[in-house]
């Protein structure tokens, strides 16, 4: 029983990181029809930002809270740069953006490999994340609790922002009908850039969390991006709740399979499971739109 | 664009075919011809993508999956053809007794292979396509899902290195459906060997000779031919011309393997063990007769904390191939084999000394560290210091410097050691061994907190178990068992992530040993048994199993029957020729069992057997450089034999020995040794010394966990009591 609960919890925390990445993916995909394969590299950039912040601020207790907003801004700005320089020229051409951003992701990975040592860099864990929290008779590692809380706060903030702010209303309008939104006087270009900034920034925040759980190296983005896409495929686009449920489900499935078999077999099994799931619910969990984009 | 008429396009294809099949082989060099072949393969794959994307509108990001299925089908057949009736070479490398996996078996048939090449991708693509298109998945979703399939397959293959060759892949095919397949590029490679006779006075060239060799193994014969030619034309009278060893014999025919070996060596010298091991494994897979690569691979594996028989196999393979090597390389290989496979220190020392002699002045010899290590394990610290000082001048590698620091500390030259270490750190800032040395140097002076700080900022990169282990031993020495456990668990998690399955168990044994003290034997045994159940002894890896560290744990936990069981398994499954590295531990665990059984006399004779044995697989709580007369376990044996004076002498030697790696032993022993020594002094009536040792213990464990904390308070109380008297 302990094992099951432990794996469930580890899965939820892994799913939380997936959720932060998948939110950005789902936002840009749903709104602009853009598939950003370099999205995982923004996670990597967030993790390396955490490391660099630590080189400036010596105490790891302080540097991680500082790194969170810094990573958000750094990854967001780089996302914005990608949007302005490349992606804005290929809206509504999902397959072309997909190929181009695969190239961008390879460049970013190689750049990280050139700048940082190939075995990766160590990110010191803050001392307040050492230890465990006792809830309901089980000991939860604080690091995992932190990841889950972080994801929950980010999602809540994003949902509130989308629902109540004027920018949020404009984003929702653009997602629902771009032409009508433009007619109503919304600058969809500005909205697109902002969405890209926020989506990439969330991946940066996920990177800080990921650097506390696993290693920080040039390959880490590639590790997370495929499960994140599986989340988007299973969760559907257009609504947050599909992504949330799918992210945690994929996280738990990966973690349980990895416990029963091996980490690599778990990826294969999770892939098969998503294909099977699409047989049952081709529209994803909640969305009303179909998967026939082209 | 005007559309080509069908007849014209047929004509074009015909011309292209003639160009490819008829003209290209005539005009292109073999190098470009083999490249052209590769381009044609890619073109076929690209045609598939063009068809699916252009005609069907489906962007297949995972086209490589189908490409790979065909490639692996072909490669498995060719590998089996090369292996004949046996098992493919790379599988034997991982496990000499490996059976052929069942899914390889049908690929022996060439008919099945040809069918599989077409049908396997068709079936996989058919299933996937049916599942996706039935639900109208298309466009970007389809691209992403096929990309996920590619990633899943790549992870699967690279994680099953024993069955599929993993990242290294399958290569080195010798036959192709019965034809002898030899890379044309290699056939064309010619080594030119030239010699010239010059006038001694003017330097004018009088005559020149030239011979050719078609591959590296024929170079010696070609040199002999050259000498014959010179002799016949110059006259037999020149006696000084004699056939001799070519100065630097190439030991591999594969340039790629040579490059990988060199890069691997560089990575190893930097302390990046994971990369070094990968590159060297690739080099040995490319050329299974590459002796030097095997010996460096073995060293890198053992520095990375691996314990399995891969190390032994690497050294033994290098030893088997030693006749191909130059003198200097041969001595290294003989020395490493003696030290790490046979655990025979005197032979190893002699071989390493010969290596240094042969290479002195040539700038070749770099294995001073191994000589130093062998000398120190044999207790010859002055000789080790001399050798390593020379190494510092010629080869300031991290390992040479680390060895020198160890020797200097042992010879009482802490100041000089500190200087060497600072210089080494400037040169190799990230090398894990240097970080640990520095911390240990701090800890020796009693600065546990400073040592801890050094390690905390140290690089705990993957593949370097030294840092978390050092953290754990430091904490355990100070009685902070719970924190020590934390560090060991970090290490264990890292080992779990890599294919170091047996090291996970060894760490479990270490965790268990600490938990015996912290939570009691039952909890510790439960955890270790759980780890054992998670990783059952599979018949293929029986020789790799860490029987002895586990047996040692069970003795410590008071489960003698389990310890004896593991010993029986060790005797049954580990063949005698693989036991060398275990010998040291074997004697000590046998001694521990004998002592626990109440046979201290047997324990004593077992412990004495360790004198000439190299401590190859020293555990996390052992220092390789402390001889048996300095080990607290000998003192315990003496105490049981009712020889308190001998026990006290051994304890004093242990407490005073200036060993750089003593915190390893201190982790489990220092506290109890202090307590025991104090009690022995008290019995003897030497109140002053007893009080000193009691106080030392109270200081050491002042911040300890509750369990050791009680002992520390008891010691303090005792000291106060005797002091008042």
pLDDT of residue A220: 85
End-to-end CA distance of chain A: 47
For residue B698, count CB atoms less than 10 angstroms from its CB and return exposed for 0-12, middle for 13-18, buried for 19 or more: buried
Minimum-distance CB partner of A271 among B136, B148, B486: B148
pLDDT of residue B379: 79
Q: Which one-letter DSSP state was computed for residue B236?
A: T
Is B275 in Cβ contact with A119 (below 8 Å)? yes
- Give how far Cα B176 sits from Cα of B111, B172, B274, B350, B689, Å: 13, 11, 35, 47, 80
Q: Which residues of A touch B456 (CB under 8 A)?
A: 124
Q: Are B610 and B628 in contact (CB under 8 A)?
A: yes
- Over the stretch B7-49, which tens digit does the pLDDT of each residue have? 667 888 888 888 888 788 778 877 788 888 888 889 988 999 9
Query: What is the distance in angstroms between the Cα of B67 and the nearest Cα belonging to chain A?
Result: 18
- Over the stretch B579-610, which tens digit does the pLDDT of each residue have? 777 888 888 888 988 888 888 888 888 888 88
Within an 8 Å CB–CB cutoff, is residue A175 touching chain B? no
pLDDT of residue A283: 64
pLDDT of residue B53: 87
Q: Which two tokens stand for residue B519?
A: 């939570």
pLDDT of residue B205: 67
Is A119 in Cβ contact with B462 (below 8 Å)? yes
Total residue length of chain B: 725
CA dihedral B443, B447, B450, B456 (to 10 degrees): 40
Chain A interface disruption, residue of B133, B139, B157, B466, most A CBs within 10 A: B139
Minimum-distance CB partner of A118 among B134, B144, B275: B275
- Over the stretch A241-286, which tens digit does the pLDDT of each residue have? 888 888 988 888 888 887 777 667 777 787 788 777 777 776 666 5
Minimum-distance CB partner of A94 among B139, B149, B463: B139
Minimum-distance CB partner of A95 among B140, B148, B160: B140
Q: Are B233 and B207 in contact (CB under 8 A)?
A: yes
- Over the stretch B187-233, which tens digit does the pLDDT of each residue have? 444 566 667 776 666 666 667 777 776 655 666 677 777 777 776 77
Q: Are B256 and B286 in contact (CB under 8 A)?
A: yes
pLDDT of residue B112: 93
**Which residues, other chains included, contact B312 with Cβ-Cβ below 8 Å and sequence gap of 6+?**
B298, B340, B341, B578, B580, B581
Chain A interface disruption, residue of B144, B163, B486, most A CBs within 10 A: B144
- Over the stretch A3-24, which tens digit does the pLDDT of each residue have? 677 778 888 888 898 898 888 8
Is B152 in Cβ contact with A124 (below 8 Å)? no
Within an 8 Å CB–CB cutoff, is residue B145 touching chain A? yes
pLDDT band at B68 (very low <50, low <70, confident <90, very high): very high
Is B497 in Cβ contact with A263 (below 8 Å)? yes
CA angle B719, B722, B725 (to 5 degrees): 150
- pTM score, two decimals? 0.49
Within an 8 Å CB–CB cutoff, is residue B61 touching chain A? yes
Q: Which residues of B touch A279 (CB under 8 A)?
A: 131, 134-135
Question: Has the ipTM of the complex gone over 0.85?
Answer: no
pLDDT of residue B539: 52
pLDDT band at A164 (very low <50, low <70, confident <90, very high): very high
pLDDT of residue A207: 92
Is B136 in Cβ contact with A282 (below 8 Å)? yes
Q: Which two tokens stand for residue B185?
A: 């590029």
What number is the average pLDDT over the span B475-495? 83
The nearest alpha carbon in chain B to A97 belongs to B140
């Amino acid at each position: 029983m302990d094992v099951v609960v432990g794996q469930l919890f580890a899965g939820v925390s892994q799913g939380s990181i997936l959720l932060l990445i998948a939110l950005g993916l789902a936002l840009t995909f749903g709104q602009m029809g853009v598939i950003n394969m370099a999205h995982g590299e923004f996670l990597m950039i967030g993790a390396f930002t955490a490391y660099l912040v630590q080189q400036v601020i010596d105490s790891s207790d302080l540097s991680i809270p500082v790194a969170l907003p810094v990573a958000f801004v750094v990854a967001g700005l780089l996302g914005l740069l990608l949007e302005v320089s490349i992606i804005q020229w290929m809206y509504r051409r999902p397959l072309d953006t997909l190929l181009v951003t695969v190239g961008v992701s390879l460049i970013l990975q190689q750049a990280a490999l050139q700048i940082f040592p190939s075995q990766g860099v160590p990110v010191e864990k803050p001392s307040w994340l050492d230890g465990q929290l006792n809830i309901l008779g089980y000991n939860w590692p604080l690091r995992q609790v932190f990841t889950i809380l972080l994801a929950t706060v980010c999602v809540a903030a994003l949902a509130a922002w989308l629902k109540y702010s004027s920018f949020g209303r404009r984003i929702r309008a653009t997602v629902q009908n771009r032409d009508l939104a433009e007619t109503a006087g919304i600058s969809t270009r500005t909205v697109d850039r902002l969405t890209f900034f926020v989506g990439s920034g969330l991946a940066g925040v996920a990177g800080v969390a990921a650097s506390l759980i696993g290693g920080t190296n040039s390959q880490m983005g590639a590790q997370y991006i495929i499960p994140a896409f599986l989340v988007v495929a299973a969760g559907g686009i257009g609504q947050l709740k599909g992504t949330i449920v799918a992210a945690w489900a994929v996280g738990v499935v990966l973690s349980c399979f990895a416990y029963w078999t091996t980490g690599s077999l778990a990826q294969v099994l999770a892939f098969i499971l998503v294909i099977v799931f699409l047989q049952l619910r081709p529209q994803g969990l909640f969305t009303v739109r179909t998967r026939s984009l082209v | 664009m005007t559309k080509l008429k069908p007849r014209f396009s047929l004509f074009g294809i015909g011309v292209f075919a003639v160009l490819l099949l008829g003209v290209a082989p005539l005009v292109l060099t073999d190098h470009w011809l083999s490249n052209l072949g590769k381009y044609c393969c890619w073109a076929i794959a690209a045609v598939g993508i063009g068809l699916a994307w252009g005609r069907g509108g489906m962007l297949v990001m995972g086209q490589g999956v189908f490409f790979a299925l065909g490639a692996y089908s072909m490669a498995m057949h060719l590998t089996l053809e090369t292996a004949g009736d046996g098992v493919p070479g790379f599988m034997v490398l991982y496990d000499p007794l490996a059976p052929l996996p069942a899914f390889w078996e049908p690929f022996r048939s060439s008919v099945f292979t040809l069918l599989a090449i077409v049908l396997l991708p068709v079936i996989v693509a058919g299933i996937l396509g049916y599942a996706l298109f039935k639900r109208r998945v298309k466009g970007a979703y389809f691209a992403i899902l096929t990309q996920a399939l590619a990633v899943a397959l790549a992870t699967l293959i690279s994680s099953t290195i024993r069955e599929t060759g993993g990242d290294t892949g399958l290569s080195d095919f010798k036959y192709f459906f019965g034809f002898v397949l030899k890379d044309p590029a290699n056939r064309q490679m010619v080594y030119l060997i030239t010699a010239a006779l010059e006038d001694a006075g003017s330097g004018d060239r009088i005559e020149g000779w030239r011979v050719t060799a078609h591959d590296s193994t024929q170079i010696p014969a070609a040199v002999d031919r050259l000498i014959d030619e010179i002799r016949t034309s110059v006259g037999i009278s020149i006696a000084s011309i004699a056939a001799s060893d070519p100065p630097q014999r190439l030991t591999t025919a594969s340039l790629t393997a040579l490059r990988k070996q060199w890069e691997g060596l560089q990575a190893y010298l930097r302390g990046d063990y994971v990369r070094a091991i990968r590159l060297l494994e690739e080099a040995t897979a490319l050329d299974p007769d590459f002796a030097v690569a095997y010996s460096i691979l073995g060293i890198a594996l053992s520095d990375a904390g691996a314990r399995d028989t891969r190390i032994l196999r690497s050294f033994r393979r290098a030893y088997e191939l030693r006749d191909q090597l130059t003198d200097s390389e041969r001595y290294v290989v003989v020395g490493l084999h003696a030290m790490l496979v046979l655990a025979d220190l005197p032979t190893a020392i002699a071989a390493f000394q010969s290596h240094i002699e042969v290479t002195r002045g040539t700038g070749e010899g770099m294995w001073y560290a191994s000589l130093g290590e062998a000398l120190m394990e044999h207790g010859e610290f002055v000789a080790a210091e001399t050798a390593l000082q020379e190494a510092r001048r010629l080869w300031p590698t991290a390992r040479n410097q680390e060895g020198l620091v160890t020797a200097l500390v042992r010879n009482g030259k802490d100041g000089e050691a500190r200087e060497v270490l600072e210089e080494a750190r400037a040169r190799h800032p990230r090398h894990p061994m240097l970080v640990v040395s520095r911390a240990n140097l701090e800890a020796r002076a009693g600065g546990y907190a400073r040592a801890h700080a050094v390690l905390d900022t140290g690089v705990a990169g993957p593949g370097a178990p030294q840092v978390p282990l050092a953290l754990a031993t430091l904490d355990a020495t100070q009685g902070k068992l719970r924190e020590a456990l934390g560090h060991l668990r970090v290490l264990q998690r890292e080992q779990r992530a890599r294919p170091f399955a047996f090291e996970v168990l060894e760490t479990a044994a270490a965790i268990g040993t600490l938990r015996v003290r912290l939570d009691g034997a039952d909890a510790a045994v439960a955890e270790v048994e759980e780890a054992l159940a998670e990783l059952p002894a599979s018949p293929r890896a029986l020789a790799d199993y860490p029987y002895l560290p586990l047996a040692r744990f069970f003795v410590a936990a008071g489960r003698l029957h389990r310890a004896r069981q593991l010993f029986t398994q060790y005797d049954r499954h580990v063949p005698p020729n693989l036991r060398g590295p275990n010998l040291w531990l074997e004697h000590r665990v046998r001694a521990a069992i004998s002592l626990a059984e109440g046979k201290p006399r047997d324990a004593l004779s077992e412990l004495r057997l360790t004198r000439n044995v190299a401590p190859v697989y020293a555990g996390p709580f052992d220092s390789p450089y402390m001889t048996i007369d300095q080990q607290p376990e000998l003192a315990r044996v003496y105490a049981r034999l009712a020889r308190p004076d001998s026990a006290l002498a051994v304890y004093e030697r242990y407490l005073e020995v200036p060993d750089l790696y003593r915190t390893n032993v201190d982790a489990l022993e220092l506290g109890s040794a202090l307590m025991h020594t104090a009690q022995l002094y008290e019995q003897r009536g030497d109140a002053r010394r007893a009080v000193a040792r009691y106080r030392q213990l109270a200081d050491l464990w002042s911040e300890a966990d509750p369990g050791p904390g009680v002992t520390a308070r008891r010691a303090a109380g005792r000291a106060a009591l005797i002091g008042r008297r």
